[in-house]
Amino acid sequence: MMTEEIRAKKEVLIEESYKRGLEALQQHSVSTGMDKERAYSRFIEARNELIAMQKAFCELDGELSDYCCTLGLDLGNQMIEFCQKELAA
Q: Against a cut of 0.75, is the pTM above it? A: no
Domain locations along the chain: 4-27+35-88
pLDDT truncated to tens, each residue of the chain (89 aa)?
Answer: 456 776 677 677 767 766 776 676 666 565 556 666 777 777 778 878 877 877 787 787 777 777 777 777 777 777 777 777 777 76
- Rounded distance, CA 53 to CA 89, Å? 26
d(Cα 28, Cα 2) in Å, to the nearest integer? Answer: 36
* Among candidate residues 62, 79, 63, 72, the one with its CA nearest the CA of residue 13: 72
